[in-house]
Structure 1
Amino acid sequence: MAGKWKALADQLEHEIKEGTHPPGAALPTIPDMVAAGWGSKATVSRAYEELKARGYVTARRGHGTVVRDRSRVRVPLSRYDHVLEPGGTRGPWETATAAQGLNGRMEVDKPAAETLDAPADIAAGLGLDTPAQAVRRRRRAMIDSDTIALQEAWYPRNIAAAAGLDQPGKVTGGVLGALVGAGIVPAEAEETVTVDEATPEQAARLSIAARAPVFIVDRITRDRAGRVIELVRMTGAADRLALVYSPLPLKVRSSRGRAPSSGGEVR
C-alpha cells in the first residue's frame, strides 16, 4: 500500500500541473504543511523529495522548495545559420530563444578562456594528436534566471588565437561570427546526441534531481578544408530542451542511381 508521503506527492504534482503552484512559486514550508494537517515532518519531507526526483521542484537557498519551469525550449539546428556574419549582437542561443519570445542569454563561466591539456576524447574530436593542448571556453545557456544547459567549447590553439577566442570575456555576436571575421569560415557541422544521468555537479548547476536524464550534444564544426575548428559539448536538462533537426534536405535516387524525373513517381 502506498504511504501517505506518496499520496501527498501525487496531490502536489496534480496541483502543480493544474497551475495551483506555478513555476517559480515556493511550496509551503514543511512546518506549515505539518501545521495544516498534511502529515508528519517525515511524511512531508519524503513527499518533497519525491517531487524533486520527479523533476517538479527544486531546492533553492533562501527560497525553499520551488516549482521548476518544465516548459521546453526549442533548440533548432538552424540556429547557427543566422550568426555567421561577423559583428552581430546575438549568438545562436540568443537567436533561437528570441525567436520564441524568451529571454535567453549566455553567461560566461570564469575563467572564460583556458589553455588546457585536452582530454583524450576532446583531442580525438578536434583531430589532434595526444597529448595536446587546446583552448576551452565555458558558458551557461540561460532563460531568465534558470540555467538550461552547460556548454564547453574547445578549439585548437592556433584557431583560438587567430579568432581571439583565447582571451577572457564574452564574444559578442557569437564565436562563429568571430571565426568568420578572422577568415576561418565554417563549412559543415555534425551533431551527436546521447542521453546520460546527470553528475552531482551537473544536477546542482541545472537545478535538477540527482541522476536525472540529461542530453549531451557534441557539435563538431569544420572549415572548407575539412579541418575541425570547434567542438562544443552541451549538457542540458532533458525535460527543458527540444532538439529540432528540420527541415533536412533529402536526396532521392532511383534504383539505377538516377534522380527521378520531375513529377514522376518514385518506386
Structure 2
Amino acid sequence: MTGGQKRPKYRRIADALRAQIDAGEYGPGDRLPGENPLAAEHGVAAMTARQALNALKNEGLVEARKGAGFYVRSFKPIRRRSIARLSREHWGSGATIFSADDARELTVEASLLGEVTAPEPIARVLDLGEAGSSFARTRRFIVEDRPVLLSTSYMPYDLVAGTPVAEVETGPGGTYARLADLGHAPVHFREEVRVRAPSAEDAARLRLSADTPVIKIVRTAYEATGRAIEVNEMTLDSLAYVLEYDFDA
C-alpha cells in the first residue's frame, strides 16, 4: 500500500476537502458538502465523512453551524510582522504593536497582577535576585470575536512600580513608549518560538480544541546597557496567525 492509502479514510477525505479549499473551490463562508453526499462520493459510512469534517473543524478551517452543516471559516489569518512591529519608529510614533500586524479592530482584556514572584527562569533573565519581585500584567487579544493571543508580561518591580508603565492603559505606543519615557527604551529584542499542545487553560481562554496546537513565543526586551527590562510570554492560536520575518541578507 502507498503512504496515502495507509492514511485513515477520514483523513484522506479531509485532505481532499482541504485541497479544494486551498484551491479556492470553496471560499470563505461557503458550505461544504454534508456527510451523506461525502459518504456517497467516497464510498464510506456517514460517520467516517463526519470524522473528516470534524478534522477540518479541529484544524480551524471550517466551523459547524447547528442544523446547517459545515462552512469554510471567513477569518483571515493575522500576519505577525515580527520585525517591523518592534521597531522604535513604529511604537515611538504612538502606534500599537498589533497595528503593524493587522488593521482590524482589536479588543484587549487586560488585568494587572501587580507585584508577583516571577517564575525562576524569568527572574534569572531579569536579574531579580532571590526575591524575584516583578510587576506583571496579563492580556487577552480578541479579533472579530475570536481570542487569538494570550500574553503575560514581567518587568522588574522597582523599575516600573508607580509609573505609567504599571497602569492598565499605558497610553500611545504602549509599554515600550512608556519605558522610553523613563529613560529605559528597549533597543534590542530576542524571541524564542516553539509549538506545542495547549494547556487546559490555554484551550479554554483561546476557545480551542485540545488537539489544536498553539505557538509559544517568549520575547525579551533589552535596554542600551544590555539589561533585560521585560520578558513577555505569549500564547498564539496557531490557526489565527502567520509569522512573517522580513530582513535583508
Cα displacement (A) at 1:176 = 0.6
Cα distance, 1:229 vs. partner?
1.4
Q: TM-score, normalized by length of structure 2? A: 0.74
Equivalent position to 1:77, from 80, 83, 97: 83
Q: Secondary structure of the residue that 2:150 maps to in structure 1?
A: strand
Task: Give distance in 2, aligned partners of 1:66 and 1:114.
Answer: 43
Letter matched to residue 124 of structure 1: R
* C-alpha separation in 2, matches of 1:131 and 1:62: 56
CA drift of 1:151 comes to 1.8
8 A Cα contact 1:113 1:165, kept in partner: no
Partner of 1:16: 21
Tell me the alpha carbon deviations over residues 132-172 of structure 1, each in whole angstroms, 9 at most, x when there is no partner. 23222222344444433322211111223253233334644
Tell me which residue corresponds to 2:132: 132
Q: Is the 8 A contact 1:186 1:223 kept in 2?
A: yes
Q: How much has 1:106 moved relative to structure 2?
A: 5.5
AA in 2 matched with 1:79: R
Task: Report deviation, 1:48.
Answer: 2.3
SS in 2 for 1:165: helix
Aligned 8 A contact 1:134 1:155 in 2: yes
Paired residue for 2:53?
A: 48
The number of equivalent residue pairs is 238
Quickly say closer, same or farther: Cα 1:72–1:103, change in 2 above 3 A: closer
One-letter amino acid matched to 1:18? A
Distance 2:124 2:67 in 1: 43
| Residue in structure 1 matched with residue 194 of structure 2 by the alignment | 194
Does structure 1 conserve the Cα–Cα contact (< 8 Å) formed by 2:189 and 2:222? yes
- Partner Cα separation in structure 1 for residue 134 and residue 211 of structure 2: 30
Counterpart contact for 2:150–2:234, Cα < 8 Å = yes
Gaps of 5+ in 2: none
Question: Which residue in the other structure is 2:99 paired with?
Answer: 94
Instruction: Summarize the Cα distance change of 1:113–1:169 in structure 2 as closer, same or farther, 3 Å threshold.
Output: farther
C-alpha contact 1:56 1:70 (8 A) present in aligned 2: no
Q: 1:62 to 1:203 in 2, by over 3 A?
A: farther
Counterpart for residue 248 of structure 2: 247
Tell me how large the CA RMSD over aligned residues is: 3.5
Say whether the 8 Å CA contact 1:93–1:104 is kept in structure 2. Answer: no
**Contact 1:120–1:130 under 8 Å retained in 2:** no
Rounded Cα–Cα distance in structure 1 between residues aligned with 2:207 and 2:68: 13
Whole-angstrom CA distance in 1 between matches of 2:217 and 2:116 = 21
Identity of aligned residues (%): 25
- Cα distance in 2 for residues equivalent to 1:245 and 1:178: 27
Contact 2:188–2:222 (Cα < 8 Å) also in 1: yes
2:210 and 2:69 map into 1 onto residues whose CA distance is 18
SS at match of 1:129: coil
Match of 1:216 in 2: 216
Query: Is 1:181 the equivalent of 2:181?
Result: yes
**Whole-angstrom distance in 1 between the partners of 2:69 and 2:139:** 27
Larger Rg: 1
CA gap of 1:96–1:56, structure 2 versus 1, over 3 A, is closer
1:259 corresponding residue in structure 2 = none
Show structure 1 runs of 5+ residues with no match.
249-267
Contact kept, 8 Å, 1:9 with 1:47, in 2: the verdict is yes
Indicate how the Cα distance of structure 1 residues 106 and 232 shifts in structure 2: closer, same or farther if over 3 A, else same: farther
Q: Report how far residue 177 of structure 1 moved.
A: 0.8
